[in-house]
Each structure stands twice: as C-alpha cells, then as structure tokens.
Amino acid sequence: MAKVRKPFPWRTVFSYLILIVGVIVAVLPFMWMVSSSLMTQAEVSLGRIVPDEPQPQNYTEAWNRANFGRFMWNSTRITVITIVGLLLFCIPAAYAFARMRFVGRNVLFAIMLTTLMIPDIVTLIPNFLTIIWLGRFSATICGEACAWYNNWPALTVPFMASAFSIFLLRQFFAQIPDELWDAARIDGAGHLRFMVQIVLPLSRAPVMTVITFAFIGSWNSLLWPLLVTQSDDWRPVAAGLTKFVNSDAPGDFHLQMAASVIMIVPILIMYFFTQKQFTEGIATSGLKG
Amino acid sequence: MAALPRDWFDSRQGRVLLENLTAYLFIFPAGAIIFIFGLFPVAFAFFVSLYRWRRFPDEYLGLENYYKALGNFGYILFFFTALAVLVYAAILFYQLVKRVRGGMWLYILPGIVNAAAAALFVDWFFKLLPYVLDVPRRMPRGQTRDRALFVDEFFNSFKFEGVPDAGYRLLFGLVAGVVLSLACLWLVRSRDRVEVLLRITVTVLLVIGGAWLMRLTLNEMDETIQLAEDAGESLPIWTQIIFIGLGAILLFVAYAVWTRAVRQDEDRRFVFWGLAALLLMAGGYLLIVYFPQSITAIDNDLEQGFWVTILYVIGTVPVQLGLGLGLAYLLFHTQRGKTMFRIIYFLPYITPFAATAVVFSTMFSNRNNSPANYMLKFFGIDSQKWLLEPTPVNELIFKRDLPQLLEGPGLALVVIMIWSIWTYIGYDTVIFMAGLGNIPPEYYEAARIDGASTWSLFRHITLPLLSPTTFFLSLIAIIGTFQAFTQMWIMRRPAAYDAVDTVGVYLFETVSTKAEYGYGSAMAFVLFATILMITFFQNRILSRRVFYG
C-alpha cells in the first residue's frame, strides 16, 4: 500500500467529506426507493420524503398485481440453468487452455478472446435467426418441449459459455503449481480427476466470481428475453417489472417502487455474500483483459 | 479396456495423442457455443445485410441496404474497407517475405490452395444456408411438425441448384490443400514451418476476401451510377472517394508531421508546426466539403441516432472516468472504511437497469413536486418536463434557437446520462483502485524526498503510471456507450423519442417491430465499423501516451 505523506487533518476531513457525498449520491436513490415503496400513492405524488405511516402491504399488492411469483420463478429457473451449464462447459475449457498441451491451443484461445470485442448489437439479429431455426429444428425432431423460441433454451444456451468466464478461470488455473499435477499423476490421476478433486477445491474464489457475474447478468437481462419470448411463461423478472411499470400500473409509483425493491433483493443478497471475490475478480480481470 | 493396447497409450506418442483428444473434448461444448453465438453471427450478419430479409431470406440486394442507410457513403465505406484489407494483406506478405528469406515459393502454392479451400467452404456454406433456413417454409402446409418430412427437406437443401457443385469444388480444394500442405511440411525442415504456412494461408485469404469485397463494391457502384445516369442525374461517387481519401491522407500526414515537430529543436519546430497546420487545414477542408456531400441520402432516423449516440458518449465517458478517478484517488489514500465505501459505490453497477430506471424516472418525473423539480424550485427555476422534454438543454438555458452543433443533448437524454454515469462510476472506481494499487510506493517516497507537492505527485506519478488503466477504461466505456440501448429503451417516452433514440434503439425498433432483418444488420455493421474505427484511432493515438511502468 502506498503511504503518501501523512496528511494534515483538514485534508483527511475534506477527502472523507467528498467520499461521503459520493456515498449519499450512490445510496440516495435506493433510500428513496425503499421509503416511497412504503408510502401511499398520495404521499408519493405530494413529494414526501418519509411516509407518515409505513404501508408494508404495498409489497404484497405489488407482488400480486405484477404477477411476480411467476417472474421470480422464471428468473430463478433461467439463472440456475445458465449457471449449471456455464460451470459444466467453462471449467473444462478453461482447464484445457490452462493446463493441457494440444495443437492449436494459442490460436484457439486468441480466436476465443476476439469474441469479447464484438459488440452485442452485431450478434443480436443473426443469433435471433439462429435461435428461431434451431428451435424449429429441435421442436420437429423431439417435440414441443424442445422448442427454443419462447422456451428456456433460447434464454440460457447462448449464455452457457462465455469467453470472459473461461479467461477468468484460466488465469487462475494456470497459477496452480505444477508440483500438484506431478504428484497427482504419480498417484495415477488423469486430467479429469485432477480437475475435479484438486483444481476445483482450490478455485473457489474465481468460480464464485463467475457465478456472481452470471447471476447478475441473467437477472439483469431484458432485451434478449423480450426478443426471444412471446408470453410470460419464461419471461424473467426484469421484463415483468418493465411491463408492470409501463402498462399495468403506470401511475402507482409506490407499487412500482415496491416491485423494484423486490427485484433487487436477491441481487443484493448475492452481492453482499460474494462482494470480496466479485470486486477482486472485476479488478484483476479488468486490468488484464 | 482390455482390448486397447495399453502399452501404446503409455508410449510418448500415445500420451500426446490422448492429451490432444482429451483437450478437444474439454473445449468442445464451450467452443461450440462460443462459435455459434459469438463468432459465426458476424459473418451471418453480413450475409443477412446483403438481402431483403423478413423472417425468411428474400431477394438479394447487394449493398442496397447500406445505400439506404448511408447514401453514397455506403459505397465509399466499402471501397475503403476493401482497400484496407488488401493493403493489410500486402503488409503481412511483405513481413513474411522478410522473415522467411529463402524457400518462400515452397509455401506459396499450398498457401494459395489452402486459402482457396477456405474460401470455397465459405462459398458453399453461404450457398447452402438460405436453403437450410428455408426448410420450414418448403414444408407442405399443416405438416410442419412431421419429423420425417422435415429431415427429408433438410437433406434436400444440399441438392438445390449450385450447392452440389460448390460442394464438389470444396471437396477438391480440401484434398488438394491437405496434400500440398503435407508435401510442403515434408519438404521444408524449418522449425516454424507450420506457423509460416498458416500465416501465408491467412494472408492469401485476406487477399481473396478483399478482392471479392472490392469487386462487389465496384459492381454495385457501377450499377447505381448507371441507374442515376439513366434517370438523367449524376452520382459523383468517384469524386467523393478520391477527395475523401485525399483528405484522410492529408490528415494522416499532418499527424505524422506534428509528431515529428515535437522532436525538433526550437527553430525548426516552428516550420514543422506551420506545415502540419497547413496540411491539417487542407485535409480538413476536403473532408468538410466532400463528406457531408456523400451522406446527403442518409437515412434521417439513423443520422439522428448517430447524433444522439455521439452526444451520449461525449456526455458520459469523460465525466464518468473523471469522477471515478477522483473517488478512487481519495479512497485509496484513506485509512479507514475502504471496503465499506467500495461496497457502496459498487451498488449501482450491480443493480438491474430495470429497477433503477423506475427510481430515476420517478425522481425526474414531470410532476411539480418530483424530487428533481423540487430541487429546481429550491434554486428558483421553473419546473421541467425532464424525460418528456426533447428540447436541447442549451436552448432551454438560453431560451433561443441555436445551431445544431451548439444546442447540446435533449433534456431527456441528460436524465439518461445522469443515470448511466451514476451506474458506472462504481465500476470505474474499483478498477482505478486496482490500478493505483499497482503503482510501486517507492516512486512516491523518492519524489517526496525531493520535496514534491501532493499535486505534482498526482500529476507526474499517479497519472502517467495509471494511464494503462485509464486507457483500458476509456476503451471499454466508449465501446459500451456507442452501442447503448437498454437504458434508452427503458427510459424513452413517446414525447422525447427523437432526443433519446440512439442507433441501437433505432436498430432494435427496425428489427422488433418492422422485422426488417436485412436493413437492421446493415445498420449493425455500420455501427460496428464506427466502433472499430474509433478503437483503432484511440489505439493509435492514445496508446503512445500510455506509459507502461
């Protein structure tokens, strides 16, 4: 840690003052969100700052009117499927790139990393067409349950492998000392076994980072789900909230706020449990990426 | 397992083969997904952009979608892209010749055949693709769920006109390529022969691609010019190409002279600066005259979208980076509560847009007593309509009409800017903090012994050593903001559509409501080209100022 000249007290006070202003700016919208979610509609319209009497029933009303039970369940399903697939596919790939020697390793890795530079907007249309076609194909081959459009595969499969996650995991796997691998090999373990029994238990931090990123990503996603779904059967909570705000309860600000609070609670819980790995993951990957 | 010759797998060759196979098996699932949804779409998008395409592929249009989007400049863009590809291939070839010296000719033939095989594959694939995509439409009505019919039609796609021929050509090319490559690798005994062969192949492939693109562009251009002449008008595309190219070259030379001027001694520096300024003005003049002329037929909505996007980038990126750096610097030098501050600053970044949008749209609502208007009242200003207000801010402030360059973003866009700055500051702060942590403390100690002030510590140690981080963040931020559309899409209100619709929003609208996939893809490519160009120049110009420890 850099220890600059011990600052005069007024300087410390001044910098804390600015930092606290920053905190207020960052937190104020959240505070206001919570406080107006507890007001009556009239109180929000009058521009009150705190409710006279908290109205916790707003939450149940918002939950029911926005049909949040459905959307929360959808988002949970989507998130879980995405994360399981992500771990299942990305960990072996990252392991191979980090610890195995094969023809074309560097070329393949470089090609994979170039996908990070392609803007989402370019891939949006072709991916939509691909999804439509793949969906028709699989629905014809194995029935309605395998449809892609308006079903879980369209929402999860494209996100089950990301160059970013593979990169993050690879950086960590590559740091694991070779002695461990030598020892494991002497004991007769192959790559699969070494990966599952030695590497994975050592890599809890990067795996948590990847999970958190995927969780936040799929909880936030809005446009892609809107494009590839038609009904509420599989629409995630972000789409549900947007629909509630725009068409179901346009004037009921207190209910909108309550619904927003409901939506961000799972993310906040996830974040507070993993914030250390998460910020570190962002910092290191950001710098090296 | 007993049947397998275990001994062989224990031999060196066997182990290597096994390791290779296992590795490919490990990579395959993730690789397939990344390829299908990350890489292939780029080629697919370009293919789609050459067609009229609504749900299913329709008529082949060539570059007409680009003409529709940009006017003449569509052709000009393609001309220069093709030229750039060819020039880049020439540079690669020159580097290779310099590196290999003797025996280059041994590589050239297999290289050409390999590249031809790759090109034949692309040709075959994109001849086949429309028929495969058309399978559902060729099915008899009411039979869409018949499995056997579907499979039949799928395999029928391979037999349509032109597809088998392309397939045979591809097969021949592949066999010839493999044979020649093996022969080449057998004849040449240099250590890097595989790499050289790969590079040659890529270079030739670039030449083929560039030549194809150039032919396409020239043909299309001729057709358009012919059409215009038949209608009694003239299309000065060639003049525009020549003068825009000249203008760009002059600007480039001006930049080169400028960088040289900095290295001269006092007397000569003046002359060089004068020369650079002169070239700059000449190049700028050509661009200013001919560039607007070439885009007179631009799609007006797209033009508006670009204008909004540029305002949005200029309005958010510097502010966001500046504030992020400031907070990170202060936070880095405090002793207590670092983690707590960091957690809190990061909150907006992880919160879904859909949720914070609700708060910000309520805070900036047009009601008289919304928080934002309440603030204004406190300062004695009339309340505003915020998200419903398309009028540019400077016109609101000065209360009169201004030329477009001065009028600034619409008030609705300003609200979205505030919202996205609020969202991303935490991210920038965290990464700046990590960057600050990488600066060795010895530098500060040494400078302090020399009596440097806090400001000069910041100016001469922190800023230069932090420049890789700053460069990275600005790159990410510009790429991200240029394609911004989620924020606008959530916050746009009918009254202010014009003020907040970025290129991304317009594109999404074109696709989702009008179902014009071909035109949408063309716009996506134009946006992609813009982003690439900006990253390229940023790399060229800024990375010289980046100081890596």
What residues of B are in contact with residue A15 (Cβ under 8 Å)?
A: 330, 333-334
Report pLDDT for B435: 87
* Residue B14 in contact with partner chain A when CB distance is under 8 A: no
Q: Which residues pair with residue B54 across a beta bridge?
A: B56
Please give the helix or strand (H or E) that residue B51 lies within, else none: strand B51-54
The predicted-structure confidence for A140-153, as pLDDT tens digits, reads as follows: 777 777 788 888 89
* Other C-beta atoms lying within 10 Å of the C-beta of residue A119: 18
**pLDDT, tens digit only, all 549 positions of chain B:** 445 556 666 777 888 888 889 999 999 999 999 999 999 999 999 999 998 888 777 888 888 889 888 888 888 889 989 999 999 999 998 988 888 766 677 788 888 999 999 999 999 998 888 888 888 777 776 655 677 777 888 888 888 888 888 889 999 999 998 898 888 888 877 777 788 888 889 999 999 999 999 999 998 888 888 888 888 777 777 888 888 888 888 888 888 877 777 777 777 777 777 787 888 888 888 877 777 777 777 888 898 999 999 999 999 999 999 999 999 999 988 888 888 898 899 899 889 888 998 899 888 888 887 888 888 888 888 878 888 888 888 888 887 777 777 788 888 999 999 999 999 998 899 889 888 888 888 888 888 888 888 888 888 888 888 888 888 888 888 888 988 888 888 888 888 888 888 999 999 888 888 888 999 999 999 999 888 888 888 877 776 667 664
Going by the DSSP 8-state scheme, the letter that residue A6 receives in this structure is P
ipTM over 0.90: no
Report pLDDT for B274: 79
The predicted-structure confidence for A243-261, as pLDDT tens digits, reads as follows: 898 888 777 888 999 999 9
Alpha-carbon torsion angle B118, B120, B125, B130, nearest 10: 150
Fold classification of A80-288 (topology level): MetI-like fold (1.10.3720)
**In this structure, CATH architecture of domain B300-542:** Orthogonal Bundle (1.10)
Chain A, 11-30: which have a CB under 8 Å from a chain B CB?
12, 15-16, 18-19, 22-23, 25-27, 29-30
* Residue B45 in contact with partner chain A when CB distance is under 8 A: yes
Average pLDDT over residues A34-59: 85
Q: Which of B495, B66, B195 is nearest to A107 (CA)?
A: B195
What residues of B are in contact with residue A92 (Cβ under 8 Å)?
A: 25-27, 29-30
* Residue B34 in contact with partner chain A when CB distance is under 8 A: yes
Closest Cα in chain A, distance from residue B399 (Å)? 28
CB contact under 8 Å between A19 and B341, yes or no, is yes
pTM strictly above 0.90: no
* Residue A89 in contact with partner chain B when CB distance is under 8 A: yes
Report pLDDT for A287: 46
Please give the helix or strand (H or E) that residue B54 lies within, else none: strand B51-54
Beta strand B51-54 with B56-60 is antiparallel
Report pLDDT for B544: 67
Chain A, 63-82: which have a CB under 8 Å from a chain B CB?
none
Gap between the Cα atoms of B321 and B427, Å rounded: 10
The dihedral sign for the CA sequence B121, B122, B128, B129? positive
* Residue B102 in contact with partner chain A when CB distance is under 8 A: no
Decide if pLDDT at A82 tops 90. yes
CB A2 within 8 A of CB B332: yes
Q: Give the start-to-end residue ranges of the domains of chain B.
A: 300-542
- Please return the burial class of A244, using the count of CB atoms within 10 Å of its CB with bins 0-12, 13-18 and 19+: buried
CB contact under 8 Å between A161 and B30, yes or no, is yes
CB contact under 8 Å between B431 and A283, yes or no, is yes
Find the angle CA(A110)-CA(A112)-CA(A117) to the nearest 5 degrees. 90
Please give the C-alpha separations between residue A214 and each of B72, B172, B357, B485, in angstroms, as whole numbers.
Answer: 43, 45, 21, 20
CB contact under 8 Å between A222 and B353, yes or no, is yes
What residues of B are in contact with residue A140 (Cβ under 8 Å)?
A: 144-147, 150
Gap between the Cα atoms of B367 and B185, Å rounded: 76
* Residue A42 in contact with partner chain B when CB distance is under 8 A: no
Report pLDDT for B2: 46
Q: Which of B125, B193, B333, B510 to mutate to test the interface with A (most CBs of A within 10 A)?
A: B333
CB contact under 8 Å between B350 and A271, yes or no, is yes
The predicted-structure confidence for B216-271, as pLDDT tens digits, reads as follows: 999 888 888 888 888 877 777 788 888 888 888 888 888 887 777 777 777 777 77
The predicted-structure confidence for A157-201, as pLDDT tens digits, reads as follows: 999 998 989 988 998 898 888 899 999 988 888 889 999 998 999
Q: Which of B347, B437, B444 sits opposite A26 (nearest CB)?
A: B347
* Residue B23 in contact with partner chain A when CB distance is under 8 A: yes
Give residue A224's Cα distance to chain centre.
14
Report pLDDT for B58: 80
Please give the C-alpha separations between residue B350 and each of A12, A178, A182, in angstroms, as whole numbers.
Answer: 29, 36, 41
Report pLDDT for B479: 85
* Residue A282 in contact with partner chain B when CB distance is under 8 A: yes
Q: Which residues pair with residue B57 across a beta bridge?
A: B53
Closest Cα in chain A, distance from residue B238 (Å)? 29
Report pLDDT for B141: 66
